[in-house]
Amino acid sequence: ATAPAGSGTVQVTVTTPAGTSNGVTYTYINAPAITGLTPNQGPTSGGNTVTISGTGLSGATSVLFGTHAATITANTASQITVTAPAGAAQSVNVTVTTSAGTSNPLPYFYVAAPAVTGLIPTMGPSGGGNTVTIFGSGLTLTSAVHFGSAAASNITVISDSQITVTAPVGTGTVLVTTTTPGGTSTIGLGNAYYTYVAPPVINSLSPAQGSVAGGDDVLIRGSNLTYTDAVFFGTAPASFAAVSDTMVVTTSPPGAVGPVTVTVHSPGGTSNGATFQYQP
C-alpha cells in the first residue's frame, strides 16, 4: 500500500468482505529540516567539525556536502555533528537524509588555504609594535596572524592579497603565518620570514672629534650594528658602512663648532647617543 499523508502514530487496518483486521501501529516521521551550520565555511581539505542544527534529524542516514558524504559523529533530533569531506573552493549545498526524506539545503563555503608571499618591512624591533604589511592570497577572512608562535594584533584586511598587522615582541628570524577558515598558510613562493633586530648600541667613537668642514672618518664601536641603515651627527645624516655587528665606519658631515650627539639607526630602533666634538 502507498501510505497517505498523516502525522503522529496511527493504527493500520485491512478491510475485506470478511471484516476489518486488528490494528498495527504506524508512526509518521516529520521530514528533516535544517536551520543552521556552525561553521558554515571551512578548508578545501575538509576534516573540520561542522554542527548542523534543525528538527527531525534523528536517525540520519546521510549528510551530503554537495555530492560528497560527510562522516556523522553524533546525532540527536535537533543536532548532528559531522566531519566535513574535502571539496573544491566553492559553495555547496548541505542536506540531511532520514527515513522521512531529505531536508532543505543550506550553503557551505569551501575556502582555499591562504598564502603569504611577502612582508614590508621584513625586519623590526625586538620589542614589536611596528606595522607590518603582509602580501599573499586568500587573506580576506584572516582571523589570526602569527610571527613564529607569537600572535600579532590589529589585523586590518585591505584586500584579498594584502593585510596589515602590529608585530608582537620576538627574537631571531621567524615564519609569519595567516589563519583563515581555509587553514593556516604554509611555506611557499616568496619570503614569509621576519627578522627581529635588537636596538643598536654605541660604545665609543674614534676619533671623537673632527673638523667643522666634515670629511673625517670616524669608527663607531658598539653592538647590534649589522643592520645599520642611518647614522646622524646631531640631525645631519652621514655616509657610513657597516663593517660588522660591532663596527660601523662613518664620515662626519660639516658642522658647527661644539659638541653634537652621534646616533645609529637600524630596524631595531635608534641607539644611545655618543658625543662628537666639532673643532675649528
Q: State the average pLDDT for the chain.
A: 96
**In the 8-state DSSP scheme, what is residue 208?**
S
Find the range with the poorest average confidence among 29-33, 139-143, 162-166, 245-249. Answer: 29-33
In this prediction, residue 44 carries a pLDDT of 95
Confidence of residue 115 (pLDDT cuts 50, 70, 90): very high
Question: Rounded distance, CA 176 to CA 193, Å?
Answer: 6
Q: Among all chains, which residue has been given the C-alpha cell 627578522?
A: 195
> How much is the pTM?
0.78
Cell digits of residue 261: 650627539
What secondary structure does DSSP assign to 129-151, as a single string?
A: --EEEEEEES-TT--EEEETTEE
Q: Is the pLDDT of residue 188 over 80?
A: no
**How many C-beta atoms lie closer than 10 Å to residue 117's C-beta?**
15
Q: Angle at the Cα of 157 (from 153 to 158), degrees rounded to 5?
A: 135
Complete domains list, the chain, with CATH: 33-111 (2.60.40.10), 115-197 (2.60.40.10), 201-279 (2.60.40.10)
Residue 201 backbone phi and psi in degrees, to 5: -130, 130
Mean pLDDT, to the nearest integer, of 24-50? Answer: 93
In this prediction, residue 187 carries a pLDDT of 82
Nearest to 220 by CA among 254, 261, 249: 249
